């Protein structure tokens, strides 16, 4: 049994959603399934044009609805989840009980975790830190601006790697590792740590550049 999980690419919430769904799916649905992944990106032409739904089951998380009969599972929290009124009508006609949408959630990660717990008896407690940070990052719910800008927290440093990542092998490894590894431990893994250093250095340099050229007037920052 092969299951394909398609997720919002280069996005912390997308990657975390894929990790939480995969952990839930293995524990409560199909422990024997071999899960593989595919990233989805918003494009001006055809979003799903060249995407292959080539699993025995296919899941889409943190991304727009697709009415293909090949899609078994779907989770999204965006108000813009449907590309057309026909897609939205198709979703509302679905009786599988495996497709979910709720735009009141700040992150798809927490949405998946709650649905998995409430409907399928999944214990999300061991993923609490990942779920919390996905909600903070995707909902911009930082305790202060410094937390968002300085990116000192492990989740923020991992975000640098995810957003800059162009190698799907690494992103898919992150998804697999996030299922059982806490964020602070994951960023210490050599394949992550070696990427964080140059990305974080570049980020700090950008902050200094902005400080030098920015002008603050009446609660507005102007970049001159």
pLDDT band at 20, cuts 50/70/90? very high
Residue 40 in tokens: 């989805």
* Domain count across the chain: 1
Residue 38 has pLDDT above 70, yes or no: yes
The confidence score (pLDDT) of residue 200 equals 86
State the Cα–Cα distance between residues 75 and 123, nearest whole angstrom. Answer: 18
Give me the count of residues in the chain.
224
Q: What is the pTM of this model?
A: 0.93
State the Cα–Cα distance between residues 182 and 80, nearest whole angstrom. Answer: 31
Q: What's the CATH code of the domain at 178?
A: 3.90.1640
Least confident of 3-12, 83-92, 203-212: 203-212
Chain-centre distance of CA 6, in angstroms? 10
Contact present, 143 and 156 (Cβ < 8 Å)? no
Top pLDDT among 189 and 47 is at 189
The confidence score (pLDDT) of residue 45 equals 61
Strands 99-101 and 71-76: parallel
Least confident of 34-38, 74-78, 183-187, 213-217: 213-217
State the Cα–Cα distance between residues 38 and 90, nearest whole angstrom. Answer: 23
User: DSSP secondary structure string, 78-126?
Assistant: -TT--SSHHHHHHHHH--SS-EEE-TT-S-HHHHHHHHHHHHH----GG
pLDDT, mean of residues 50-69: 96
Containing domain of residue 18, as a range? 2-223
Contact present, 15 and 159 (Cβ < 8 Å)? no
pLDDT, mean of residues 97-125: 98
Residue 153 has pLDDT above 90, yes or no: yes
pLDDT, mean of residues 195-200: 92
pLDDT band at 7, cuts 50/70/90? very high
Residue 96: phi and psi, rounded to 5, are -70, -30
């Amino acid at each position: 049994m092969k299951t394909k999980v398609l997720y919002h690419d280069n996005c912390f919430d997308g990657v975390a959603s894929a990790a939480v769904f995969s952990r839930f799916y293995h524990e409560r649905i199909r422990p024997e399934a071999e899960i593989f992944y595919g990233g989805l990106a918003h494009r001006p032409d055809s979003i799903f044009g060249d995407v292959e739904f080539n699993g025995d089951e296919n899941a889409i998380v943190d991304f727009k609805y697709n009415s293909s009969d090949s899609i078994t599972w779907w989770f999204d929290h965006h108000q813009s989840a449907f590309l057309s009124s026909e897609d939205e009508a198709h979703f509302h006609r679905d009786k599988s009980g495996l497709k979910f949408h709720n735009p009141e959630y700040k992150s798809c990660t927490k949405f998946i975790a709650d649905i998995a717990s409430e409907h399928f008896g999944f214990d999300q407690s061991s993923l609490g830190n990942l779920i919390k940070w996905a909600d903070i990052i995707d909902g911009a719910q930082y305790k202060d601006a410094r937390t968002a800008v300085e990116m000192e927290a492990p989740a923020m440093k991992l975000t640098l790697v995810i957003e800059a990542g162009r190698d799907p092998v690494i992103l898919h490894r992150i998804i697999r590792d996030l299922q059982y590894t806490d964020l602070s431990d994951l960023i210490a893994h050599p394949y992550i740590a070696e990427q964080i250093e140059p990305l974080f250095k570049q980020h700090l340099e950008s902050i200094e550049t902005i400080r030098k050229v920015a002008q603050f007037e009446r609660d507005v920052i102007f970049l001159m």
